[in-house]
Amino acid sequence: MIIVANWKAYVEDLTKGKTLFATSKKLARVSDLRIILAPPSPFLGALALRNKSSVAFAAQDVSVTLGGAVTGEITARMSATAGATYALIGHSERRAKGDTNEIVAEKLAHAFAHGLIPILCVGESERDAEGRYLSFIREQITAGLAALAPKERAEVSIAYEPLWAIGKTAEESIGPDDLAEMVLYIRKVLAELLPGKSSRQTHVLYGGAVESGNVRDLAAVSMADGFLVGHASTNVSSFTDIVKALS
């Protein structure tokens, strides 16, 4: 079971980041979870380069560029040399800022080129009775993986984060049975894109109103391999409760 803590821009000072990192190290020692922290990029090196624990780090995004005269960009190589092992690619908040499927595919390639393991984020903005949102999810996955080599495709994790569930309460978010259907559908799409039985090894995560009160049921029924947690991961008490619920 994997839990990715996406701090987004909620953590704006390094002291809080260090506190959350210290908590994560303690939790990793007493649980069987794979904990991955995605801090804001200015804090990545300060935390990850001194890391000797089992906690891993992820970049929240990578630039579509490979360096040069591009002020303010954060390339895949920068994040890798700062200590990141993973990279979130195609997060809904980056897609809202203009990341198309083509840009996401390019970022995936850049991540692999510099040794980062991508976590490809996909998700629909709303659901319709006709099920057109399923085609939307298929397109996001297919477009992201299309240009990758078969071996690379097998290493990508998929994080399903429906936009309509983000920021909602657990009661308003997705239920265990609906999530189970989505996990199965994503695995069906992956089976068409990956050779042999390798799609069975792909990690499928869920993000969207993940709380200690619903995460156990979501994990038990849906067969998701883990969770992408946003705001709750920046609160020591909330994050501890979520990890304990999954352990």
Average pLDDT over the chain, rounded to an integer: 95
CA atoms within 13 A on the CB side of 109: 15
Catalogue all structural domains in the chain, each as residue range(s) with its CATH number: 2-246 (3.20.20.70)
Ramachandran assignment for 100, one of left (phi > 0), alpha (psi -120 to 50 degrees), beta (any other): beta
Segments of the chain scoring below 50 in pLDDT? none
Structure token pair of residue 176: 């265990």
Backbone φ and ψ for 39, nearest 5 degrees, come out as: -80, 165
Is residue 161 flagged as an active site residue?
yes
Task: Quote the pLDDT of residue 156.
Answer: 97
Q: Which residues pair with 3 in a beta bridge?
A: 35, 227
Residue whose tokens read 């092992």: 85
Q: Which of 91, 106, 110, 203 is catalytic?
A: 91
Q: Which of 93, 106, 124, 161 is catalytic?
A: 161
Task: Quote the pLDDT of residue 47.
Answer: 97
Task: Quote the pLDDT of residue 236.
Answer: 98
Of the candidates 93, 88, 108, 102, the one whose C-alpha atom is nearest the C-alpha of residue 41 is: 88
What global pTM score does this model have? 0.96
